[in-house]
Amino acid sequence: MSGSMLDDGDDIPPILRGAPASVDFRKLRKRIVRETREAIETYGMARRGDRWLVCMSGGKDSYTLLAVLIELQWRALLPVDLLACNLDQGQPGFPATVLPDFLAGLGVPHRIEYQDTYSIVVDKVPARKTYCALCSRLRRGHLYRIAREEGCAAVVLGHHRDDIIETFLLNLFHGGKLATMPPKLKNDEGDLYVLRPLAHVAEADCARFARDMGFPIIPCDLCGSQDGLQRQQIKRMVDEWERNAPGRRRILFRALTQAKPSHLLDPTLFDFRNL
């Protein structure tokens, strides 16, 4: 990617028109584009001619994801078709017109699907238990179905670097395993990819980008309103590490890219017996 690739003020897709002209924002935008392109290339995400279902929750991460993918496509650096998709899960008070109005106003191809998973989750999950696991499972099933109906090869999610780090620590401390969200995987049926192009992008950069762009953020009031989530506890712990020793997130993420099976204890990954 050339240093001047983002320097032509008028040569931008509609979703980025009105972006701040400050040097700081331009640097932020270039960094997010560079890191997203790096992840797409590193993990072999893009196949020419594929169609991607870009999942839009209305949060800061999904807006950032859509904007950077559209920019890469606009600049002929991402040879796939994009279809934005919002799954309205029937949460009380959900502003159902925000995303369709936003996407239609920019001419972004999109599909809005209504499925009342909220009632199912509230009915099935016991009091004081978190909704995330069941909510996510129901949502993923509908997204897979929509992807198939729309002829998409991949379901594309807005998880960023911090999500990946936190999931690793959740699995480490609560699941007893070394695993995290992979940037690319196939679903159990083997007919769809699940992609995370923001895998190298920091959450703070997504938040700043979405705020500076003035995207109409929709908060998640289903799980976000619950106290004591394990993920929230992990996030607070990592935040404290970062305050006490800046750079911890970067080092944790780098560790995930440099696994050494011979220096772990899993005999299915390394043949200790015949060493």
What dihedral do alpha carbons 169, 170, 175, 179 form, nearest 10°? -60
Structure tokens that stand for 161 in this block: 């670097």
pLDDT score, position 127: 63
Closest CA to 72 of 24, 30, 17, 10: 30
pLDDT score, position 123: 62
Dist. CA 49–CA 79, nearest whole Å: 6
Going by CATH, does the domain composed of 14-260 fall within 3.40.50.150? no
pLDDT score, position 144: 95
Question: CA 240, 243, 245, 247 torsion: positive or negative?
Answer: positive
User: By CB neighbour count within 10 A (0-12 exposed, 13-18 middle, 19+ buried), where does 230 fall?
Assistant: middle
On whether the CB atoms of residues 61 and 159 are closer than 8 A, the answer is yes
Closest CA to 84 of 102, 96, 40: 102
Please give the chain's pLDDT, 275 residues, in tens. Answer: 444 445 444 578 999 988 999 999 999 999 999 999 999 999 999 999 999 999 999 999 999 999 999 999 999 999 999 999 998 876 777 788 999 999 999 999 999 998 776 677 666 666 666 666 767 778 888 899 999 999 999 999 999 999 999 999 999 999 999 999 999 999 999 999 999 999 999 999 999 999 999 999 987 655 544 444 788 899 999 999 999 999 999 999 999 999 999 999 999 999 999 99
pLDDT score, position 229: 77
Q: pTM surpassing 0.75? A: yes
Dist. CA 180–CA 166, nearest whole Å: 8
